[in-house]
Amino acid sequence: MKKGRCLVFTVITFVSLLSTGYTGNAGELKNNANAAKQLEMIRKNLSSLSEMKFADAKKYYEEALKELNTLTGKYAETEEALEAKFYIGAVYSEMRNFDEAIKCFDAVLKQEEMHRNFRARTLYFKAKALLAKGDLAKAKETVSELRLIEPRAADSFGSELSGMVRIGAEAPTFNVMDFKGNPVDLSKCKGNVVIIDFWATWCDPCIQEFPKVKKMYSRFKDKGVQFIGISLDDDIEDLRGFVNQEAIEWPQIFDGKRWRGEIPALYHIQSIPTMVVLDRESRVRYIGNDAENASQIVTTLLSESKELPLFR
């Protein structure tokens, strides 16, 4: 299977922003030469991980987190400790732990006096984490704050914020063929709860989550729930092999265009795996990467009205 990363912005944004380093004044915080040397070494090591598969890089991210946390404790109340907290947030984003990432970015932003470039960089990463989490409202607030400091960086979020699918909004419809040539018309799914799963065989977190997805399918397939897979694979043979190996029964849509594919673009998908849950009226009720949370939403939706015949 081909190498790849699961965050759209990872390879370019993560490396380019980390490589800028911190060049500012954090109010009364002091510099520490030893901390600066350690931080620079950690930063270089993180930058070198950008092209690695997640499974291969994971242990290095975990080691970096330990080193960064040690640094923040040893050199508390220094500029380097504040920047290390930012890097912790960036690493958590890479590991798809967006809640912890946002907490770290918020902790950095509590520092009243800091260089505007550092604040802008932190706001930018916080907005990206919020978007990846599916929290459009808070992402917009963060981008608005970013715009006051660095308008050009804020403008880069234009298409993501204006067209992003929102909770409570009607889901964008599509009518395509799955990779086996069978029609998949979302409009005909109205009346059923729908789970749209964006994933790829090259995405290690997707493969790790797959047993939960398969369990969800077994649990809900006969209860008025329609599953649709959207594969971001490059090679149809990778998808076909995995589908056969795992005996996947629900339709899988493939066009070989990854993020530029029709449906990922339609739903403004920023990271995978991502699940989108629709209610019986085709309104978006959940966007995220937690199969257990998605299952709870589906259970709630099924209890809201009597079951209808499953669309096949």
Locus of tokens 């006969």: 222
What's residue 15's pLDDT?
40
CB–CB of 149/58 below 8 Å?
no
Q: Within 13 Å, how many C-alpha atoms sit on residue 296's CB side?
A: 6
Taking residues 24-53, what's their average pLDDT? 79
Band (pLDDT 50/70/90 cuts) for residue 134 is low
Give residue 38's identity as a one-letter amino acid code. Q
Q: Taking 60 as the threshold, does the pLDDT of residue 310 lie above it? A: no
Tell me if the domain spanning 175-304 has CATH number 3.40.50.2300: no
Question: What SS3 string covers 53-111?
Answer: CHHHHHHHHHHHHHHHHHHHHHCCCEHHHHHHHHHHHHHHHHCCCHHHHHHHHHHHHCC
Band (pLDDT 50/70/90 cuts) for residue 259 is confident
Provide the pairing of β-strand 225-231 with 252-254.
Answer: parallel
What's residue 57's pLDDT?
81
What's residue 128's pLDDT?
87
- Identify the bridge partners of residue 229 per DSSP, sorted by sequence position: 197, 252
Band (pLDDT 50/70/90 cuts) for residue 153 is confident
pLDDT digits (tens, 9 = 90+) for 269-291: 878 899 999 999 898 988 888 88
Q: Is 238 helix (H, G, I), strand (E, B) or coil?
A: helix
What's residue 11's pLDDT?
36
Band (pLDDT 50/70/90 cuts) for residue 162 is low
CA-to-CA distance for 116 and 25, rounded, in angstroms? 9
Nearest-5° Cα angle at 52, 237 to 102:
110
Taking residues 177-187, what's their average pLDDT? 93
Q: Taking 90 as the threshold, does the pLDDT of residue 58 lie above it? A: no
- Helices and strands in the chain: count of H runs, count of E runs: 13, 7
Lowest mean pLDDT among 18-22, 144-148, 190-194: 18-22
Q: Taking 90 as the threshold, does the pLDDT of residue 115 lie above it? A: no
Burial of 263 (0-12, 13-18, 19+ CB in 10 A): buried
The torsion angles phi and psi of 284, rounded to 5 degrees, stand at -75, 125
What's residue 269's pLDDT?
85
CA-to-CA distance for 57 and 51, rounded, in angstroms? 9
Domain chopping of the chain, boundaries: 10-163, 175-304
Burial of 76 (0-12, 13-18, 19+ CB in 10 A): exposed
Compute how many other C-beta atoms are within 10 angstroms of the C-beta atom of residue 141.
14
Q: Taking 50 as the threshold, does the pLDDT of residue 201 lie above it? A: yes
Fold (CATH) for 10-163: 1.25.40
Q: Taking 60 as the threshold, does the pLDDT of residue 26 lie above it? A: no
Q: Taking 50 as the threshold, does the pLDDT of residue 2 lie above it? A: no
* Helix 54-74 with 204-220: angle, nearest 10 deg: 110
Taking residues 197-219, what's their average pLDDT? 93
In eight-state DSSP terms, residue 271 is B
Locus of tokens 């991502």: 274
Lowest mean pLDDT among 99-113, 193-207, 298-312: 298-312
Q: Taking 50 as the threshold, does the pLDDT of residue 152 lie above it? A: yes
If phi > 0 it is left, if psi is from -120 to 50 it is alpha, else beta; for residue 267 that is alpha
